[in-house]
Structure 1
Amino acid sequence: MTSSASQIRAWTGPQILGYGFRPFFLGAAVFAAFAMIAWIGALSGLWTIPSAFGPVEWHVHEFLWGYLSAVTAGFMLTAVPNWTGRLPIVGVPLAALWATWALGRIAVFFSAGWPPAVIAILDLSFLALLILVLSREIAAGRFWRNLKVLALVAMLFLGNAIYHAEMMAGVMAHDSDGLRIGLASAVLMIAVIGGRIIPSFTRNWLARRGPGAVPEPFGIDDKIVIAVTAVALLLWVVTPHYVTTALALLAAGVGNLWRLSRWVGWRTIAEPLVAILHLAYLFLPLGFLAMAAATLFPEVVPHSAGLHTWTVGAIVLMTLAVMTRASLGHSGMPLTADWRITGIYVLAAVAALSRVGAGLFPPADRLLELAATCWVLAFLLFAVVYAPLFVTRRAS
């Protein structure tokens, strides 16, 4: 049977199409920078986004279902062949899948004046196609335990479908059930997948550092915390403003803080490529605590502070951590962060802290400007550093 590595090495076309992470990670980074510039320009009155969505609604949608969907696809198309032993998707099929994602971005951006149903179909086609591809691979490889990850991708698709329906009905982003479903799927994805890879990568790195504390193995305690996290997110989706929901969010926040403490992140400071995983995960429980506080003490902690702790904090930092590491590892490069990669992390962390701070301490125009600037620079730096790797170096 041909191995995944053999299939990749046999690809003689453009190297950007030699592995799933390459076009999607690069596309996600470039799009994230473009979308922020477009959003800031629209807010400043420099131009108008020609979308049927309002500026805020477009901004929200394109973060979750533009940027995050691309990163999810890049990760899954890289991980599933390793899980199942099946051949990876390369070449023309990969290009077609990426083009479907890009078409969705173009359709939503230029959607003003177009039938909403057509825009929804064009946009939803990407995640629907990705789910079909992943389902086929998992079923063929009989790797049933990863159906839970596929379910989270399906949950992301469901949130997008509901969001489109809400936009047709004139619902605003802050009242959107689709937004909460999509964000809940992303948060749960970090809790499930991040909770596996962070202690694993940390343990592997510490094994070369000599004796000392190592991460606790995955066990029943982790399963309980994930269950509490899932219940809290379900309550937040269905009844976001109830005290019961706030208490569940509080429990999930404390549980995930305790879980993170068992992974000995303090021993990884010498290697930013590992340390960033722990910092990214820290924003997950902080988001739970902020969302709980926003319900219990809305006059002190605004709802946006919790949302941006999850989005700009946990999601952006975790996706950049995974993108930078996976791209190095699958390109045969040393798993260490040079000053440029460390710069990506610093810029993204400053963006996260500034955006959360802007929610906690209004008015904060300077913090918002700093957050937007660092966001754009972080993603452009990723594109500059990794594009040559994606285009010229053969995947391994």
Structure 2
Amino acid sequence: MAIPRTRPSVYPAIFSYGFRPFFLLGSLQAGTAILFWLPLYYGRLETFSTFLPVDWHVHELLFGYLPAVVTGFLLTAIPNWTGRLPVQDFRLLALVLLWIAGRAAVFFSAETGWLLSAVIDCSFLLAVVAAAATEIVAGRNWRNLKVLLPVATLFAANVMFHAEAHYQGISDMSRRLGLGAVVVLVMIIGGRIVPSFTRNWLVREKPGRLPASFGRFDVGTIALSAVGLAAWTFFPDSIATGMLLVAAAIFNAVRLARWAGYRTLPDPLVLILHVAFVFVPVGLLLAGLSVLVPDRIPTVAGIHAFAVGTVACMTLAVMARATLGHTGRELKASGGTCAIFAAIIIAAILRVAAGMAPAMAILLHLSAAFWAAAFIGYAVLFGGMLTRPRRNARSRNLS
């Protein structure tokens, strides 16, 4: 049933849909946090945080930037799943302010105390899960409740992160739990949108082989991957863990091959989704080999294949597509959009290479520069679309 996409409001356009404030703030935070990270890493700057510099860096990307983008996606996709009006205006503003409060609380936790900082920071994801669950249940869209499980796991990982950092001095298990939860979320959501958008484009532009439909193979692959990532979280040195991760890598590579990605070369908005998903099996393979042959493959290589490859590439791809579609623009990548896609792919490759060759510091610096260019570039290119009212054009759904 056709419904108005938003209700009339006196609030600015940026608070009319979840993707608007969270994609903009998330991209700005991702870009500036990396620019801040290198001087922090070399001891030239410092935060007022109880976290060690490396923990602040990990936390603000895994539990700062990422939840913002996930929230923007969920609050925009859920109305399409349920047929309900979106979370907007005061409710959306409250979530935005809570996210901002979390960033400030973490940065100044040495002043506020670790416990108060943890409560403020962790309350954001809890509020997001509650808001999303409320909308999904109200819309009787029961099948999509499973999407909230990785988000709830990310919340639990954030709680664990604060506790580990305080009681042990540095985070460990919580990093892997949070990253694993996000990779599973990409497998679930990406496994829905990548073949769907590919199929839609191919049917319209390039008839022929189409992506395989979601089935038992996909369910089994996600389940195997989730078990492997759980083992990686709690038993990171076990040979069985390494074997599970390598097996999951193989199955995810086959899964990706079933989506006919090679046929999407003419459309960067579709192609980037496939490229981003490539880093899922790459990350699983590197993580598995780092367990099986630790003297040859460092753990950090797999971690950054996931973080910069899977997560950053996929989130930028979704952010660009959703922003164009939901602001009434044509789903077509401009030269600037292609440039930010190229920048984040290069950043991912360089960061994995830097993990493999830590003595070559230039790789780390170049990766950081390309990362910042990608996310700040997104904010510059799409900021106006996110802050101005939607064009009068036919809506293109996020999923």
TM-score range, shorter chain: over 0.9
SS at 1:157 equivalent: helix
Give the corresponding residue for 1:361.
Answer: 357
Structure 2 residue 303 is matched with structure 1 residue 335: no
**1:269-308 equivalence runs, <5 A:** 269-308=265-304
**CA shift digits 1:24-71 (9 cap, x unpaired):** 000000001111111112123321122110000011111111000000
Pairing 1:268–2:264 present: yes
Q: Secondary structure of the equivalent of 1:386?
A: helix
Q: What is the distance in 2 between the residues matched to 1:57 and 1:13?
A: 37
What is the aligned-residue RMSD (CA, Å)? 1.3
Following the alignment from structure 1 to structure 2, what is the Cα–Cα distance between the partners of residues 168 and 44?
Answer: 23
Partner of 1:55: 53
Instruction: Give distance in 2, aligned partners of 1:94 and 1:195.
Output: 28
What CA distance in whole angstroms lies between the structure 2 residues aligned with 1:232 and 1:21?
31
**Range 335-344 or range 107-116, more displaced:** 107-116
- Correspondence for 2:66: 68
Aligned: 1:100 with 2:89: no
* Per-residue CA distance 1:95-136 (angstroms, 9 max, x = gap): 111010010001101111322110000101111111111111
Q: Could you tell me whether the CA contact under 8 Å between 2:41 and 2:54 is conserved in 1?
A: no
Structure 2 Cα separation of the partners of residues 6 and 340 of structure 1: 29
Q: Which runs of 5+ in 1 are unaligned?
A: none
Q: 2:367 aligns with which of 343, 367, 371?
A: 371
Counterpart of 2:379 in structure 1 is 383
| TM-superposed deviation, 1:172 | 2.1
AA of the residue aligned to 1:52: T
Query: What SS is found at the alignment partner of 1:50?
Result: coil
Offset at residue 13 of structure 1 (A): 2.5
Q: CA offset at residue 157 of structure 1?
A: 0.2
Provide the residue aligned with 1:246 in structure 2.
242
Q: Is the 8 A contact 2:256 2:278 kept in 1?
A: yes
2:91 pairs with 1:114: no
Pair 1:167–1:6, CA change in 2 (3 A): closer
Give the aligned length.
392
User: Who is 2:130 aligned against?
Assistant: 132
Please, which of 237, 242, 248 is the counterpart of residue 233 of structure 2? Answer: 237
Aligned pair partner of 1:197 in 170, 193, 200:
193
- Structure 1: how far apart are the matches of 2:206 and 2:318? 25
Asked if the contact 1:18/1:394 (under 8 Å) is kept, the reply is: no
What are the superposed Cα offsets for residues 232-268 of structure 1, whole Å, 9 maximum, x if unpaired? 1121122111000100001100000000000111111
Q: Which moved more, 1:185-194 or 1:221-230?
A: 221-230
Q: Deviations over 1:143-193 (max 9, x none)?
A: 1111111111110100000111111103423xx221111111100001111
Residue 4 of structure 1, CA deviation? 4.4
Q: 1:4–1:81: 8 Å Cα contact kept in structure 2?
A: no
What amino acid sits opposite 1:137 in the alignment?
A: E
Asked whether the 8 Å contact 1:2–1:87 carries over to 2, the reply is: no
TM-score (norm 2): 0.96
Shift of 1:2: 8.7
Residues 1:156 and 2:154 are matched in the alignment: yes
1:316 and 2:312 aligned: yes
What is residue 5 of structure 2 aligned with on the other side? 5
Structure-1 residue corresponding to 2:203: 207
Q: Is the 8 A contact 1:216 1:263 kept in 2?
A: yes
- Which of 283-292 and 231-240 deviates more? 231-240
User: Which TM-score applies when normalising by structure 1?
Assistant: 0.97
2:355 aligned partner, one-letter code? G
Secondary structure, in 3 states, of the residue corresponding to 1:113?
helix
Tell me the alpha carbon deviations over residues 331-353 of structure 1, each in whole angstroms, 9 at most, x when there is no partner: 11111101000011011011100
In structure 2, the residue corresponding to 1:159 is in which secondary structure? helix
How many angstroms apart in 1 are the aligned matches of 2:4 and 2:301?
Answer: 43
User: Gaps (5+ residues) in structure 2?
Assistant: none
User: What are the within-5 Å matches in structure 2 for residues 168-179 of structure 1?
Assistant: 168-173=166-171, 176-179=172-175
Q: What letter corresponds to residue 59 of structure 1 in structure 2?
A: H
2:316 counterpart letter in structure 1: L
Q: C-alpha distance in 1, partners of 2:269/2:22? A: 20
1:289 shift after superposition: 0.3
